[in-house]
Amino acid sequence: MHSREVLLSLGSNVGNRLAMLTRALKELDKAGLRITAKSRVWETEPWGVADQPRFLNMCAKAETSMTPEETLAAVKGVEQTLGREKRRRWGPREIDVDILMIGGETLELPELRVPHPYMHERAFVLVPLCEIAPDAVHPLLKKTAKELLAALTPEKMSWIIRI
């Protein structure tokens, strides 16, 4: 099998948010997603549902030989291992790991859409993504992460720490 580059977005707004992101990176690595780069951690306002705690967000780049479906299963397994509870859509979460892109592939399955369907609308994804993959090209929009970020309205985000 050939190796694929996977770009991930991680977020947490329940419990010890920073510890959860750190644990998620370790668990993703153990699950077969070898982390090769990670952004700084950013504190951000919630997106979708405003009445909830602020998030810590970051992005990571990984290499894997897994298929996209296996990658999704690994990501969901990490979320479950770390205690993610089912709540309302876009509501509070212990950990959220989204697959943003897998190489230059596009995929449309009921449980997985690649590239992530909202990534180009979210500064909390694009700001940290630009730290590790500014020239990653969105396979449908044909724009780099840097170009997608430049098209957004600036959003108040605070840099917290590099882990």
Tell me the C-alpha distance between 146 and 163, whole Å: 22
| Contact by Cβ (8 Å): 149, 135 | no
Give the residue numbers annotated as catalytic, written as ranges. Answer: 84, 93, 96, 98
Tell me the C-alpha distance between 40 and 73, whole Å: 26
Pairing of strands 34-38, 55-64: antiparallel
The CA–CA distances, whole Å, from 53 to 7, 49, 62, 64, 85 equal 25, 10, 28, 33, 16
Single-letter amino acid, residue 21: L
DSSP state of 144: B
